[in-house]
């Protein structure tokens, strides 16, 4: 075991002047970066200045074994530089700065996503489980080695048979009173742990989830630490390890399988913060309700979801940074009055592909900053407000779903926006596309997460026990839901002022009136939620089959979650615009805010028209306003992507021959 005399030593990056020069960007790009910097803007700046480009770019031509080696080495270097472990307590080599750790992760995602995910597995999932589900003994015994990468680990939750439905895991963790041990066993073929990052090659220890059985009684899903490899990399007795081999992406992450044949570990290896076994062999937990206990344990995943939300959005921003720069360099077809062939960015169709997505990227940056703030605030609070915690978990689930959806859709659009060049690996987009793809699936499948959001809304975060039981959802709709109250976000005072101004009648063009945007989003959310509750109530009354009752409204459930998240993200954007102190940057943000809101209204115009919120004439005006906003933002297209914070040198795209701006 390593000892660290000075626990903060790993993070001593040297004095600020040693850092490299800031990347060369335009004054507007810089002002936009500052406007979106958030509480940890200095961490972002520092990463941009100090991380060398070779740590951020993986050669897309590496074979899988080479990619795994490169990823492992790069992660070790980044860890040595203190870029991966800031969320851990100072006593174990971290900085006890949870917010910063989410931002560090986001900065890592500006580079290679295999390194990012490998880091997430070691420090977020494996180490995170030990930190949040373990107690003092686990912390003192393991956290230092986890933080220094001396003890590489994996997080073995998913099984072949059950991925999203974690409560039904089949692995058993049976307490043996005779020997005071936990017996870890995979009783069926479908109980094989699958997809597990680190299982194929590197992990020496696993946090294994399974059903805890004490005295022949099951107490639901718990987690236990199980050594799986010796120091030479050989599987330990009773542990069968497999390698998934090549995947759709993330070539540098060694995903694999685990099976256990009556593997015994001492009782104290059980991560027993929320439930454990006494030396007398009794099961004990401070949380009596098994569903609530399970949900509390899963709640510790919240940081991972916040991190993947950030990384998914960054993947989209990287793609936009490449495609937008390319669009200002690439010409196709001549046109009268044009000096040479027309630049791609001058085509309205091209502007329509890129600029509304840039607007959405900004919206998500502000929303991400807000959730990281909230994560840190709750982390710092001694007396945890359970409702606030549930709200954070719900919002993290929702933001993870919308940000990774944004990332994946945007990357594909950007790939196509670069034509054949976009399809060449040397231009950067195909690797991002491959690697970000699975973000929609892990850390919670997006469809499943959106259902959790709807459940949180229906229950008003009060009684969200269990993971995703349909019966519970119906009960909430039937009992607790007495009309939709739009819940507060941090931006509420600003929002109230804007909405009030709209109601009084500012006399301006409503299409560019932020109060009107907010009202439209709120109205949609409230209506969708109220009608969902009514529909579920009616279905529950007319059917004994809770599955059928819930399933018949599942489209509506997902719509409610999306409408909610759209409003939450818009409010974060509105607050960001208000807070911007640079007038030029504020003007551009303001136009981007309009573009984000109007694009969402346009995408949902059928709903707004069907529900008499938008006339056909106003709907046409919305589309015309979007075209006009695209036209007006086009001259600043590159400055807008500079503001999104991805340094040009990190883009790893051969086709971007002309650096945009030199002082
Ligand atoms: C590259 C990679 C790395 C991973 N790393 C890890 C790891 O380190 N540790 C770990 O424990 N796990 C890991 N996972 C597993 C991951 O968390 C699961 O794949 C994920 O939870 C989804 O589970 P599943 O694959 O069983 O999909 P399923 O749950 O079978 O979902 C399949 C489809 O069914 C839909 N669906 C499922 N339930 C519902 C429902 N109730 N209503 C409507 N639609 C539904 C989903 O939306 C999805 O489209 C990893 C996966 C991958 C691909």
185-206 tens-digit pLDDT: 999 999 999 999 999 999 999 9
Q: CA-based angle 318:125:84, to the nearest 5?
A: 55
Cα dist from 178 to 175, 181, 267, 270, 297, whole Å: 9, 8, 11, 17, 28
Which range among 171-185, 268-282, 455-469, 635-649 shows the weakest confidence by mean pLDDT? 455-469
Q: Is 233 exposed, middle or buried (0-12, 13-18, 19+ CB in 10 A)?
A: exposed
Query: Of 158, 192, 241, 243, which is best to mutate to test ligand 1, by the most ligand atoms within 8 angstroms of its C-beta?
Result: 158
Average pLDDT over residues 247-271: 98
What band does 14 get if pLDDT is binned at 50, 70 and 90? Answer: very low
Query: Of 198, 445, 446, 447, which is best to mutate to test ligand 1, by the most ligand atoms within 8 angstroms of its C-beta?
Result: 445
Q: Is the pLDDT of residue 474 over 80?
A: no
Distance 221 CA to ligand 1 centre (A): 17
Distance 615 CA to ligand 1 centre (A): 41
Q: Whose CA is nearest to atom 29 of ligand 1?
A: 164
How far is 656 from 663, CA to CA, in rounded Å?
18
Q: CA-based angle 176:178:180, to the nearest 5?
A: 60
Q: What pLDDT score does 383 carry?
A: 76
What band does 543 get if pLDDT is binned at 50, 70 and 90? Answer: confident
Does residue 163's CB lie within 6 angstroms of at least one atom of ligand 1?
A: yes
Q: What pLDDT score does 464 carry?
A: 53
Secondary structure (H, E, C), 103-144: HHHHHHCCCCHHHHHHHHHHHHHHHHHHHHHCCHHHHHHHHH
Higher pLDDT, residue 542 or 416: 416
Q: Whose CA is nearest to atom 41 of ligand 1?
A: 448
Distance 439 CA to ligand 1 centre (A): 10
Q: What pLDDT score does 533 carry?
A: 87
Torsions phi, psi of 594, nearest 5?
Answer: -60, -45
The 10s digit of each residue's pLDDT in 579-607 is 999 999 999 999 999 999 999 999 999 99
Q: What pLDDT score does 477 carry?
A: 63
570, 517 Cβ separation under 8 angstroms: yes
Question: Among candidates 256, 220, 221, 218, which has minimal Cα distance to 240?
Answer: 256
Average pLDDT over residues 435-443: 98
Q: Is the pLDDT of residue 651 over 80?
A: yes
Q: What pLDDT score does 461 carry?
A: 64
Which range among 77-91, 216-230, 504-518, 631-645 shows the weakest confidence by mean pLDDT? 504-518
Distance 301 CA to ligand 1 centre (A): 15
Distance 237 CA to ligand 1 centre (A): 29
The 10s digit of each residue's pLDDT in 265-299 is 999 999 999 999 999 999 999 999 888 898 888 88
How far is 167 from 295, CA to CA, in rounded Å?
10
Q: What pLDDT score does 443 carry?
A: 95
Q: What pLDDT score does 465 carry?
A: 46
Does residue 161's CB lie within 6 angstroms of at least one atom of ligand 1?
A: no
Question: Among candidates 43, 112, 109, which has minimal Cα distance to 82?
Answer: 43
Does residue 197's CB lie within 6 angstroms of at least one atom of ligand 1?
A: yes
In sequence order, the β-bridge partners of residue 284 are: 276
Q: Is the pLDDT of residue 215 over 80?
A: yes
Q: What pLDDT score does 169 carry?
A: 97
The ligand 1 atom at the shortest distance from the C-alpha of residue 446 is 47
Q: What is the pTM for the complete model shown?
A: 0.94
Query: C-alpha 115: how far from its chain's center?
Result: 16
The 10s digit of each residue's pLDDT in 69-91 is 999 999 999 999 999 999 999 99
Q: Whose CA is nearest to atom 3 of ligand 1?
A: 195
The 10s digit of each residue's pLDDT in 558-571 is 999 999 999 999 99
Q: What pLDDT score does 219 carry?
A: 96
Does residue 255's CB lie within 6 angstroms of at least one atom of ligand 1?
A: yes
Q: Is the pLDDT of residue 635 over 60?
A: yes
**Cβ atoms within 10 Å, residue 217:** 8
415, 428 Cβ separation under 8 angstroms: no
Q: What pLDDT score does 304 carry?
A: 95
Average pLDDT over residues 417-445: 97
363, 572 Cβ separation under 8 angstroms: yes
Q: Is the pLDDT of residue 8 over 60?
A: no
Q: What pLDDT score does 470 carry?
A: 59
Does residue 40's CB lie within 6 angstroms of at least one atom of ligand 1?
A: no
End-to-end CA distance of the chain: 50
Residue 283 DSSP code = E
Structure tokens at 326: 């390319």
Does residue 55's CB lie within 6 angstroms of at least one atom of ligand 1?
A: no
Q: Is the pLDDT of residue 480 over 90?
A: no
The ligand 1 atom at the shortest distance from the C-alpha of residue 160 is 26
How far is 37 from 15, CA to CA, in rounded Å?
21
Q: Is the pLDDT of residue 466 over 70?
A: no
Q: Whose CA is nearest to atom 9 of ligand 1?
A: 196
Q: What pLDDT score does 11 carry?
A: 39
Q: What pLDDT score does 663 carry?
A: 43
Does residue 448's CB lie within 6 angstroms of at least one atom of ligand 1?
A: yes
Average pLDDT over residues 217-233: 97
What band does 499 get if pLDDT is binned at 50, 70 and 90? Answer: confident
What band does 405 get if pLDDT is binned at 50, 70 and 90? Answer: very high
What band does 473 get if pLDDT is binned at 50, 70 and 90? Answer: low
What band does 62 get if pLDDT is binned at 50, 70 and 90? Answer: very high
Does residue 121's CB lie within 6 angstroms of at least one atom of ligand 1?
A: yes
- Across the chain, mean pLDDT equals 91
What band does 386 get if pLDDT is binned at 50, 70 and 90? Answer: confident
Q: Angle, nearest 10°, between helix axes 470-479 and 514-542? A: 110
445, 428 Cβ separation under 8 angstroms: no
């Amino acid at each position: 075991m390593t000892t660290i005399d000075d626990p903060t030593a790993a993070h001593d990056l040297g004095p600020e002047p040693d850092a490299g020069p800031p990347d060369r960007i335009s004054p507007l790009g810089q002002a936009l970066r500052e406007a979106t910097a958030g509480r940890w803007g200095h961490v972002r700046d520092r990463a941009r200045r100090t991380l060398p480009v070779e740590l951020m770019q993986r050669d897309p031509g590496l074979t899988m074994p080479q990619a795994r080696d490169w990823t492992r080495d790069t992660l070790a270097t980044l860890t040595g530089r203190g870029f991966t472990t800031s969320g851990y307590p100072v006593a174990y080599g971290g900085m006890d700065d949870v917010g910063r750790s989410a931002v560090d992760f986001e900065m890592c995602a500006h580079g290679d996503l295999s390194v990012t995910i490998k880091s997430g597995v070691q420090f977020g999932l494996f180490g995170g489980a030990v930190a949040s589900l373990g107690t003092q003994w686990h912390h003192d015994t393991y956290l230092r080695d986890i933080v220094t990468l001396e003890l590489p680990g994996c997080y073995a939750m998913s099984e072949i048979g059950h991925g999203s439905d974690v409560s039904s895991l089949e692995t058993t963790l049976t307490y043996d009173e005779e020997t005071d041990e936990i017996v870890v066993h995979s009783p069926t073929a479908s109980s094989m742990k699958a997809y597990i990052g680190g299982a194929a090659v590197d992990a020496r220890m696993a946090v294994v989830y399974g059903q805890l059985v004490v005295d022949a009684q099951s107490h639901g899903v718990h987690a236990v630490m199980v050594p799986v490899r010796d120091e030479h990399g050989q599987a330990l007795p009773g542990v069968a390890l497999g390698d998934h081999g090549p995947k759709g992406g993330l070539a540098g992450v060694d995903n694999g399988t685990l099976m256990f044949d009556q593997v015994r570990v001492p009782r104290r290896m059980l991560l027993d913060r929320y439930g454990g076994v006494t030396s007398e062999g009794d099961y004990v937990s401070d949380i009596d309700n098994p569903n609530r206990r399970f949900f509390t344990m899963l709640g510790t995943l919240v940081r991972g979801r916040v991190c993947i939300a950030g990384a998914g959005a960054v993947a989209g921003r990287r793609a936009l940074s490449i495609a937008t720069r390319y669009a200002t360099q690439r010409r196709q077809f001549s046109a009268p009055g044009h000096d040479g062939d027309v630049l791609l960015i001058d085509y309205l169709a091209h502007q329509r592909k890129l600029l509304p997505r840039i607007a959405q990227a900004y919206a998500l940056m502000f929303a991400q900053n807000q959730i990281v703030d909230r994560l840190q605030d709750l982390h710092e609070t001694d007396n945890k407000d359970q409702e606030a915690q549930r709200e954070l978990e719900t919002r993290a689930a929702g933001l993870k779903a919308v940000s990774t959806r944004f990332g994946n859709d945007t990357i594909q659009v950007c790939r196509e926006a670069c034509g054949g060049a976009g399809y060449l690996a040397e231009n950067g987009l195909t690797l991002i596309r491959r690697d970000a793809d699975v973000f929609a699936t892990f850390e919670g499948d997006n469809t499943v997460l959106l259902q959790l959001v709807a459940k949180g809304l229906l229950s008003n975060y009060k009684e969200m026990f269990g993971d995703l039981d349909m019966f519970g959802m119906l009960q909430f709709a039937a009992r607790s839901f007495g009309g939709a109250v739009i819940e507060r976000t941090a931006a509420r005072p600003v929002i109230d002022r804007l909405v009030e101004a709209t109601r009084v009648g500012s006399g301006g063009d409503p299409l560019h009136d932020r109060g009107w945007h907010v009202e439209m989003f709120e109205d949609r959310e409230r209506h969708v939620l109220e009608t969902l509750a009514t529909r579920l109530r009616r279905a529950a009354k007319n059917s004994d089959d809770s599955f059928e009752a819930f399933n018949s409204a599942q489209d509506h459930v997902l719509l409610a979650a999306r409408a909610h998240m759209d409003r939450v993200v818009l409010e974060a954007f509105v607050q960001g615009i208000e807070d911007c102190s640079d007038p030029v940057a504020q003007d551009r943000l303001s136009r981007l805010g309009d573009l984000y809101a109007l694009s969402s209204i346009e995408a949902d115009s059928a709903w707004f028209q069907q529900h008499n919120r938008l006339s056909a004439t106003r709907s046409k005006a919305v589309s015309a306003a979007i075209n006009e906003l695209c036209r007006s933002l086009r001259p600043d297209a590159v400055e807008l992507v500079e503001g999104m914070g991805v340094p040009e040198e990190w883009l790893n795209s051969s086709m971007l021959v002309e650096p945009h701006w030199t002082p």
